[in-house]
Structure 1
Amino acid sequence: MGAYSRLFVPISLLIVAIVAVRYTLLVDSEAGQARHQLVLETRQVTQNLAEALAPLAAAHDRAAVTALLQRTANVSEGVSRVRWLEDGTALEAMRLPDAPLYPAWFSAVAGIDPLTYTVPVGASGSHVEIWFSATPALNVAWRALRHQALVTALNIFLIYCLLGLLIFATRRMLRRISRATQAFRDGQYHVRLPVRGFPEAQAVATTFNEMAARIQDLMLTLQSEKERSEVTLASIGDAVIVTDPWGRVESMNETAQVLTGYTAGEARGQELHDVFALANNFGQHTLMKTLAAVQAGGPAVKAKDQNLRHRDGRRFNVEYTAAPIRQSAGGMLGTVLVFRDVSETRELIQQMSWRSYHDVLTGLPNRAALAGRFEQEIARARDGGALLAVCLFDLDHFRQINDSGGHALGDEVLKQVASRLHEFAGNDHYVARLGGDEFVLLLRDHGDKAGVERTLERLMLALTRGYQAGSRTVPLTASAGVALYQGSDVSADNLLRHADQALYQAKVEGRRKVHFFDAVLDEQVRTHHNRRTEVRDALLAGQLCLYYQPKVDMRHGRVVGMEALLRWRHPQRGILGPAEFLPAVEHTDLIADIGEWVLREALQQLTAWGGKGQLWGVSVNIAARHFQRPDFVRRLRAILDEFPAVPPRLLELEILESSALHDVNHVRSIMQECQALGIRFALDDFGTGYSSMAYLKRLPADVLKVDQSFVRNMLVDRDDLHLVSAVIGLARAFNRGVIAEGVETAEHGALLIRLGCDLAQGYGIARPMPAEDVPGWADGFVKVPAWEDASLLGPLMDLRGELRDFSRDLNLSTPA
Structure 2
Amino acid sequence: MYARMFIPVFIIIVIALSVRYSMLYGNETEYANQRYQRDASDLVTYMHKALQPSLKVRDRTALDNTLASAMLLEADLAAAHLDYPGGHLEALRSQPTQAEYPAWFARLGGITPQQRTLDLGNARLVLSFVPTLPLTQVWRTLRQQAIITTGNIIIIYTLLGLLIYANTRMLRRVTDGTARFQDGDYGVRLPVSGTLEARTLAISFNNMAQRMQSLVHKLQQSQSQLSAQLTQTLQVQATLQTEKERIEVTLASIGDAVITTDLSGRIASINVMAQQLTGWQQEHARGMELHQVFVLANNFGQHSLLKSMAAIYAGSSVIKVGNQSMRNRNGQLYTVEYTANAIRSGADEIQGAILVFRDVTERRQLMQQISWQSSHDVLTGLPNRTALTTRFEQEVFHAREEHYPLAVCLFDLDRFQQVNDTLGQHIGDEVLKQAASRLHDFAGPRHYVARLGGDEFVMLLPRLDDRLATEKALERLLAELSRPYLCNGQQVSMSASAGVTIYGGSEVSADSLLRQADQALYQAKITGRNRAHFFDADLDEQVRTHHNRRTEVRAAVRAGELRLYYQPKLDMRKGRIIGMEALVRWAHPERGIVGPMEFLPIVEHSDVIVDIGEWVLREALRQLQQWRSYDAEWVVSVNIAARHFQRPDFVPKLKTILAEYPDVPAHMLELEILESSALSDMAHVRNIMLDCQALGISFALDDFGTGYSSMSYLKRLPADVLKIDQSFVRNMLVDRDDLHLVSAVIGLARSFGLGVIAEGVETIEHGAMLMRLGCDLVQGYGIARPMPPSEVQPWVDNFGSADVWQAAAQLPPIVNLHHEHALGTSQIPAFQQS
With CA pairs under 8 Å and 6+ residues apart, which has the higher RCO, 1 or 2? 1
TM exceeding 0.5? no
Q: Normalising to structure 1: TM-score of the pair?
A: 0.37
Q: Normalising to structure 2: TM-score of the pair?
A: 0.37
